Structure 1
Amino acid sequence: MRACRGLLLILILAAAGAQASPAVDAAFDEVMTRYRLPGLAVGIVENGQVVYARTAGELVEGEGAKIDSRTLFKIASNSKSMTTATLARLVDAGKLRWDDPVVKHLPQFRMHDAWAGREMQVRDLLIHNSGLRAGAGDLMLWPEPNSFTRADILRGLAYLKPQHSFRSRYDYDNLLYIVAGEVAAAAGGAPYEALVRREVFQPLRMARCQVGEWNRESVGNVAQPHRRDGDRNVPVRSDGAVIAATTMDAAGGIRCSLDDMLTWVRAWLRPEAEDTPWLSRTQREALWAPQMPMPLSRRMREWDHSHFSAYGYGWRLADVDGVFKVAHTGTLMGMYSAVTLLPDKGVGFVILINGEGEEARTVLTQVLVKHYAAPAEKPTVAHYAGLIAQERDTKPAAQRAPDTSSRQGVRPAELTAQLGVYRDPWFGEVSICRQGEAVSFRAHKSPLLTGTVMRVGRRLLVDWRDDSVDAEAWLDFAGADGKGPITLAMAKVDPEADFSYDYEDLAFARERACD
C-alpha cells in the first residue's frame, strides 16, 4: 500500500511538472532571446519536489563553457535571508534575542542620532527602518574592489545623517546587514562566514555555496558577470584565481548554484518533512512576519491586485491575486537573482542571471508568479515587457537623465581654487587635482571611482573612466570665492540611477593642496 501511494505521488508530481514545463519553457526561451542574456538558470519546486530545472548560456559569453545546475552565481541581496536565518538559529540556541540592543553585542556601535544608536535592537538592523536614506553609505561597499572594512562601516555609520525619524518609515539599507553579520559573529563565537557555513550550508547540504575567501579554480564552474556593450555581452569585474572575503558578505556576498538555491527553497516550503527541524516553527514565523510596512507601488496594485506589502527578516512579503508571496531579489553589477515562494501553493522558484537582467528578471518572475497565482490570465513575457516599455515612455521628464552630450573637459586653470584633497568623515579622502591638461577625481579607498571632471553648461560632473561605474555624479563646490571654507557636495546625474551610488550622503571639506 505504501509503495502504491509513493508511486501515485511520483506520478502526480511528474504530471504537475510536465504541465508546467511547456509554459515555463516558452517564457524561458523568450526571455533568453528578447534580452540576449549571456546565461540564465531557472528552477521550480512544487510540493517539496523539483519539477523544473533548466539552464542556458555560458560562464563567460563566447568562451564555450556552459552553465549548468551546479554553476555558481552571485545571489547578491538574497544573501540577506541567509544572514537572518543564521541569526534565527542563534536565537533558537539562546545566544541572542531579536530585541537585544545592538550595543549589547557590539559596544562600539553608534548612529548619528545617539538615542537611535542606544535603542537600536537586533531586529532593527534587518527591516530597513533606521531613518537613513535608501542605500546610505553603500559607497563603502560598491563599486568593488575597494579597501573599506567592516570596522570602517561600524565607524562610518555615526556620520551618516538620517533623513527621517528612527522607525518611522521603510528605506532599503545594506550597511546595517553588515552590522547584523558582526552581531551574529559576536553572539555565535565565530566569524560571519564560518557561521553561515555552520548554520545554513552544512545542515541543509547546500554543498556548492561559497562565502568568504575561496579558490575559483579548485571550486570551478563559476559564472562571470557581464554588461551590455552594443550587441555584445562583455565580462565585467571578472574573478581572479582567489575570491577574497568581502566587507559586504552579510548583505550580498554569497554565491550559490541553482541546485543549492532549490534546496534552500525546499527547506522553507517543507519544514514538516524534517526529522530534526533545522529551524523552530517560532523562528520561521518570525522571519516571515510583517515587521515593517513597505510602500505599495502602482505596479503591485495594477499587476498583482496587492493589498499589503511589508518586510520581514530578510524577506519581502505581499499578496498576489489573493495568494501570500514571500520573496527577495538580488542585484550586483552584471548579476541578478530572484527567489519567490508561494507557501500556500507549495510552490517556489529561483531565477539566476549573469548579465544585465533587471527587466528580464522582472518579467520572468511575474510570468511564473501568475502561472500559479492567476493561471487564467495566461501571462506572457511580451505582455509584461510591453507594460514596462509603456512605463518608460511615459516617465515624467524630472525622472529622466538630463542631456549631458555638450560636456567639455575642464582645464586646471578653471578650478584653481577648488583643486586639492578633500575629506568626508565616512568615505575618506578624494583628490581633485591636475593631470596633464585635465582635472582628475580620485577616491583614495575606492579605486574605480576615478574619473575626469567635465563641464556641462554651468555645472561640473565627473565622468568615470571605468565603464562599469554607470552613474555619473554632479560636483557642486562652495566657498571658492574666498568667503568661507571650500566644500564639495555630489549628486547623481541620472535621478533614477541605483540608490547605492549614494553621492548625496557625501559632505567633503577641502583639507590641503594636491600632493
Structure 2
Amino acid sequence: MPTKLAADLLNSPHWQQRLDTLATKHSVPGAQVGVVALGDDGSVDVRVLTTGLTSLKTKVEVDADTLFQIGSITKIWTTTLVMQLVDEGLLTLDTPVVEVLPEFAIADADNTKNVTVRQLLTHTAGIDGDVFTDTGDGDDCIEKYVTGLASAISVTPAGGHLSYSNTGFVVAGRIVEVLRGQTWDEALTERIYRPLGLTQVVTRPEDAILFRVAVGHLANPDQESAEKVLPTTRWALPRSVGPACTITASMGDLLAFAAAHLRGGLGLTGERILSEESVAAMRVPQFDLAGLSTVDQGWGLGWILSDWNGVSCVHHSGGVIGQIAQLHTFPELGVAISVLTNSHRGAALAHDIETEIARALGLTYPEPEAEPGETDLSALVGAYETTTDRIELSRTKDGGYQVQMVARVEITGEPPMPPLPVTPLSRSRFLVELAGTPFEAAGVTVNGDEHLYMTRLFKKADA
C-alpha cells in the first residue's frame, strides 16, 4: 500500500475542487474530509479539507476546527470504554448485564437475565433499538433511561439475529458509569480525551457552544424553493442517549481517535487507551452478514467489517438531526478516511468522495451486487415495522417495485419522503436509494416470523 500517497493525497488542488463540487451537487452546506496515514518510520500525517458553511442561517464558514456531530460513530468510543473495563478485568464480554446492573430489566424476563455485554456491543441483545426517551439533562439521565426500559420489547431473544440497537449502547454506557463511579461523559474525558490529547470534542450542547459548531440541515418541504435543505430547529438528541450517538468533534480529534485504533490502542501522544488484544478483538467477526449484504461482511464489537478489494475495512457511520458522518479505517494499511457533513444528504457526498479517494489509493469501494437468477420480489411485498418506523414494499403500475418509508415516531424532524424506486438484487434482496445513497435490504425469517433487514429488523405487519 502506498502510504506516502495516502499522506500526500489531499495536498492536490483536485480534491478541494471535488469536495466543493460534490457539496453543491448533494446539497451539503458544509463538510470536512480528512485522511490520517501512518508511515512505516513511525510518522503520522493528518490532512483535512473543508468546504461551505456551518449553517445557511448564520453563514459562518466551516474550518478545520469546526465541530460536527459524529452520531453513531460514538458507539466505537463507548465500545472502547467497555473494552478498557475488560482490559482491567472488571468484567468479561460474556458477563450478564444484570450482574453489573441488578436494576436492569426489559419486558421479557428471560431476555433480561440472558443479555450479555458482548450482545450489547454486537446489536444481538434483542432490545428494541430506538428508544429515545428524554430523561433530562442531569448527571443521572442515563441511569433514569435504563430504569425506564422495563417496558421495552424484545425484537429477538438475547443472542439472536442482529438488529441495530441504540438502546443497547446506552445500557453499555450505564455499565461504564457504574464500574467507573462517574458519568459516561466524565469517563470519556478521563479515559479517552485526556490520554489522546483531544481538546475539540464534547458531548453536551452547553459545551459545544464554546466552539465553532455545524448545524444540521434537513430537506426543504417546499419543493419549489431554490434552497434544497434548511437548518434544523433542533440541534441535538437527548443527553440520555449519549453513549449511542451524541459526541461532537472536529475532524482532527476524530482522526486522532482513529489513529489510536490503527496503532493498536496507542495514541499519538504516546499514551495507551486500550490493549492491542482488545483493539484486535473489536475487529473479530461476531455476526456474519452473508446473504444479507454484499457490501458489509459482518459486525465486530462496535465496528462494521467490510472488504475493499482484498483490503480489510473497519468502519462506522453516524446520522443524527441533519448531520451525517463516515469513518473508514484500514488497519492493514495504517490509513483512515473520514467525512463529516451537516446535511441529511451527507452520505451521498461521503460515498462519492470516499469512492474517489479509495480509487486513488488502489482500493475499491464495495457496491451492492445483484445475484444471478430470478429477481422477483413478490414474496417480500407487504408492510414491515419497528416501534419507530414502517416500510411498505409494493408493486408499481409498470410492474416494478417501490418502498414507502413512514416514521411512526418522530425523532429527527425529517419531512415525509415520497415513494422510492427499488432495484431487485435477488428474490430476497433489493436496493433502495436513501438521500442519494444506495442501501441494501433483505428478507429474512427470524424465529418463524418474516422480517425485512435494513440494519434493523422490521417485522412483517399483520395484513
Normalising by the residue count of structure 2, what TM-score does the alignment of the two structures yield? 0.72
Residue ranges of structure 1 left out of the alignment (5+ in a row): 1-11, 301-307, 389-393, 403-425, 428-460, 473-495, 507-515
Residue number among 195, 204, 207 corresponding to 2:199 in the alignment: 207
Amino acid at match of 2:51: A
Checking the alignment, whether the CA contact within 8 Å between 1:318 and 1:325 is kept in structure 2 is yes
Q: Is the 8 A contact 1:27 1:367 kept in 2?
A: no
Aligned counterparts of 2:409 and 2:115: Cα–Cα separation in 1: 37
The one of 230, 235, 240 equivalent to 2:231 is 235
After superposition, give the CA deviation of every residue in 1:192-239 in whole Å (9 maximum; x if it has no partner).
11001111111111111001463444x120111111324313110344
Counting only pairs closer than 5 Å after superposition, residues 258-269 of structure 1 correspond to structure 2 as: 258-269=251-262
Query: What is the CA–CA distance in structure 2 between the aligned matches of 1:276 and 1:467, rounded to whole Å?
Result: 37
- Secondary structure at the aligned position of 2:240 is classed as coil
Contact 1:320-1:373 at 8 Å conserved across structures: no
Partner Cα separation in structure 1 for residue 9 and residue 311 of structure 2: 23
Deviation at 1:62, TM superposition (A): 4.8
Secondary structure in 1 aligned to 2:254?
helix
Please tell me whether Structure 1 or Structure 2 has the larger radius of gyration of its CA atoms. Answer: 1
Q: Give RMSD over aligned pairs.
A: 4.1
Return the match for 1:185 from 177, 185, 207.
177
Q: For 2:164 and 2:286, how far apart are their aligned partners in 1?
A: 14
- 1:151 & 1:51 partners in 2: Cα distance? 38
The one of 90, 105, 118 aligned to 1:123: 118
Q: 1:478 maps to what in 2?
A: none
Of 316, 329, 337, the residue aligned with 1:328 is 316
Quote the residue 1:350 is aligned against: 338
**Cα offset, 1:152, TM superposition:** 5.4
Cα gap change, 1:38 to 1:256, in 2 (>3 Å): same
Q: CA contact under 8 A between 1:170 and 1:294: conserved in structure 2?
A: no
Q: Alignment length, in residue pairs?
A: 388
| SS of corresponding position for 1:138 | coil
- The CA distance in 2 between the partners of 1:261 and 1:96, in whole Å, is 27
Q: 1:296 to 1:70 in 2, by over 3 A?
A: farther
**Offset at 1:311?**
1.3
Aligned equivalents of 2:327 and 2:48: distance in 1? 14
DSSP-derived class of the 2:239 partner: coil
Deviation at 1:53, TM superposition (A): 1.1
Deviates more, 1:151-160 or 1:52-61: 151-160
Task: After superposition, give the CA deviation of every residue in 1:417-465 in whole Å (9 maximum; x if it has no partner).
Answer: xxxxxxxxx99xxxxxxxxxxxxxxxxxxxxxxxxxxxxxxxxx99999
The secondary structure found in structure 1 opposite 2:230 is: strand
Where do residues 465-484 of structure 1 align in structure 2 (5 Å cutoff)?
Answer: 468-471=413-416
Kept in 2, the 8 Å contact 1:316–1:328? The answer is yes
| Corresponding letter in the other structure for 2:29 | P
CA distance in 1, matches of 2:259, 2:199: 15
For residue 426 of structure 2, what is the aligned residue in structure 1? none
Instruction: Give 1:14 shift.
Output: 7.8
Residues 121 and 169 in structure 2, CA contact (< 8 A), matched pair in contact too: yes
Q: Which has the higher helix share?
A: 1
**2:49: which partner in 1?**
54
Equivalent positions of 1:270-309 (< 5 A) are: 270-271=263-264, 275-295=270-290, 297=292, 300=295, 309=297
Match in the other structure for 1:364: 353
Task: Tell me: CA distance 1:277–1:44, structure 2 relative to 1, closer, same or farther (3 Å).
Answer: same
AA at the equivalent of 1:368: I
Whole-angstrom distance in 2 between the partners of 1:55 and 1:245: 28
CA distance in 2 between counterparts of 1:257 and 1:140 reads 27
| Deviation of 1:113 (Å) | 2.8
Q: CA deviation at 1:126?
A: 0.9
Taking structure 1 as reference, are residues 270 and 395 closer, same or farther at Cα in structure 2, changes over 3 Å only? Answer: farther
Q: 1:296 to 1:265 in 2, by over 3 A?
A: farther
| Counterpart amino acid of residue 200 in structure 2 | R
Provide the residue aligned with 1:248 in structure 2: 241
Separation in structure 1 between the aligned mates of residue 342 and residue 320 of structure 2, nearest angstrom: 10
Kept in 2: contact 1:338–1:365 (CA 8 A)? no
- Name the CA shift for 1:471/1:156 in 2 (closer, same or farther; >3 Å): farther
CA drift at 1:283 = 1.1
1:162-207 Cα shifts (integer Å, max 9, x gaps): 3333322111111011100000000111111100111111111111
| CA distance in structure 1 between the partners assigned to 2:106 and 2:263 by the alignment | 40
Do 1:258 and 1:352's aligned partners in 2 also have CA atoms closer than 8 Å?
yes
Tell me what 2:28 maps to.
37
Identity value in percent: 24
Aligned to 2:216: 225
Q: Find out whether 1:316 has 2:304 as its counterpart.
A: yes
Moved more, 107-116 or 461-470: 461-470
Structure 1 residues 395 and 177, CA gap change in structure 2 (3 angstroms): farther
How far apart, CA to CA, are the structure 1 residues paired with 2:151 and 2:234? 33
Q: Deviations over 1:56-90 (max 9, x none)?
A: 11111153311111111110000000001111122
What amino acid sits opposite 1:124 in the alignment?
Q
